[in-house]
């Protein structure tokens, strides 16, 4: 087995990297993939609480790198999905405790036993980011349709392209269809045109993401939320499936009529 390393990064903080990491890990694991989610945000770890695994951490990434435990011992198994594991970050250390070479070495070992390694990068473009992207086979940029997030995403894309890291794909997170309709939010087309990279998914703003974080149950565990379904679509695209980009708003009258007639014609 030679697992694929996907790093989730953004430049700006608070756009939903950790949420995306947790949910893509869950969605891939629900599709029979062996997945390990890796928290590369040393000193400010949060992937553990988003996944609801914070009480089961014994060792962390820095313990592995500094030889206090074997890699296997630091992996936390998610009891809800037998194919899903977490490699937590250290909370009491800082980014300098790990080097890009350490990350490459740890990931090379994990590739042997997992299909997907999903790395949650810290915000920023300093060493924590360098650590997170060093082992990446593929990078997913998370952004919001909002001026500061898009600008920072562009900066990160520039850095990754200069290093010839890639492919680089984009998640537009927390889109509010109602604000887009009023013209008061950048549209997904605007963001794509400005950043000029391939889109892998659009996740609408969804309150259930917050309640999911409250309880440590990522939205992708069930299929009854818009955001959860959006993350499952992204997981399917990662696995190579062609999934159309569904409209995020309620269809208008004309579209409903067209669909209705279309369906009639399509029926045997």
- Cα 82 from Cα 77, distance rounded (Å): 7
Q: Which two tokens stand for residue 202?
A: 């659009």
In this structure, what token pair is assigned to residue 164? 């010839």
Q: Which two tokens stand for residue 129?
A: 């980011």
Q: Which is nearer to other proteins, 75 or 180 (CB)?
A: 180
Q: Of 54 and 146, which CB lies nearer to other proteins in the complex structure? A: 146
- Comparing CB distances to other proteins, the nearer of 121 and 144 is 144
> What is the closest distance, in whole angstroms, from the C-beta atom of residue 186 to other proteins in the complex?
5
Q: Give the shortest CB-174-to-other proteins separation in angstroms.
A: 15
| Residue closer to other proteins (CB basis): 141 or 180 | 180
Give the nearest distance from C-beta 162 to other proteins in angstroms: 11
Q: Output the smallest distance, CB 161 to other proteins, in A.
A: 11
Residue 145: CB minimum distance to other proteins, A: 8
Please state the closest distance from residue 19 (CB atom) to other proteins, in A.
23
Instruction: Tell which residue, 9, 82, 87, has the closest CA to residue 47.
Output: 87
Nearer to other proteins, 38 or 150 (CB): 150
Query: Residue 102 or 152: which CB sits closer to other proteins?
Result: 152
Comparing CB distances to other proteins, the nearer of 187 and 208 is: 187
> Closest distance between other proteins and the C-beta of residue 194, in Å?
6
Residues in the site for other proteins, rule: CB under 8 A? 146-147, 150-151, 154-155, 158, 179-180, 182-187, 190, 194
């Amino acid at each position: 087995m030679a697992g694929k390393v996907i790093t989730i990064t953004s430049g700006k903080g608070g756009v939903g990297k950790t949420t995306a990491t947790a949910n893509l890990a869950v969605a891939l694991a629900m599709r029979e993939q062996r997945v390990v989610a890796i928290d590369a945000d040393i000193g400010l770890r949060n992937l553990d609480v988003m996944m609801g695994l914070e009480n089961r951490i014994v060792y962390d990434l820095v313990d592995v790198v500094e030889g206090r435990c074997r890699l296997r011992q630091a992996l936390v198994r998610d009891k809800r999905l037998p194919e899903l594991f977490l490699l937590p970050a250290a909370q009491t250390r800082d980014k300098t405790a790990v080097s890009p070479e350490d990350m490459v070495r740890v990931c090379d070992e994990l590739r042997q036993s997992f299909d997907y390694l999903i790395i949650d990068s810290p915000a920023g473009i300093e060493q924590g980011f360098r650590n997170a992207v060093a082992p990446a086979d593929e990078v997913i940029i998370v952004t919001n349709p909002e001026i500061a997030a898009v600008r920072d995403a562009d900066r990160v894309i520039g850095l990754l392209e200069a290093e010839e890291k890639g492919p680089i794909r984009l998640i537009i997170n927390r889109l509010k269809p109602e604000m887009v309709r009023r013209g008061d939010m950048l549209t997904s087309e605007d963001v794509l045109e400005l950043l000029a990279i391939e889109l892998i998914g659009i996740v609408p703003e969804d309150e259930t993401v917050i309640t999911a974080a409250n309880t440590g149950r990522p939205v992708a565990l069930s299929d009854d939320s818009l955001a959860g379904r959006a993350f499952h679509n992204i997981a399917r695209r990662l696995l190579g499936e062609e999934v159309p980009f569904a409209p995020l708003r309620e269809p208008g009258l004309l579209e409903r009529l067209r669909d209705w007639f279309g369906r009639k014609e399509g029926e045997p």
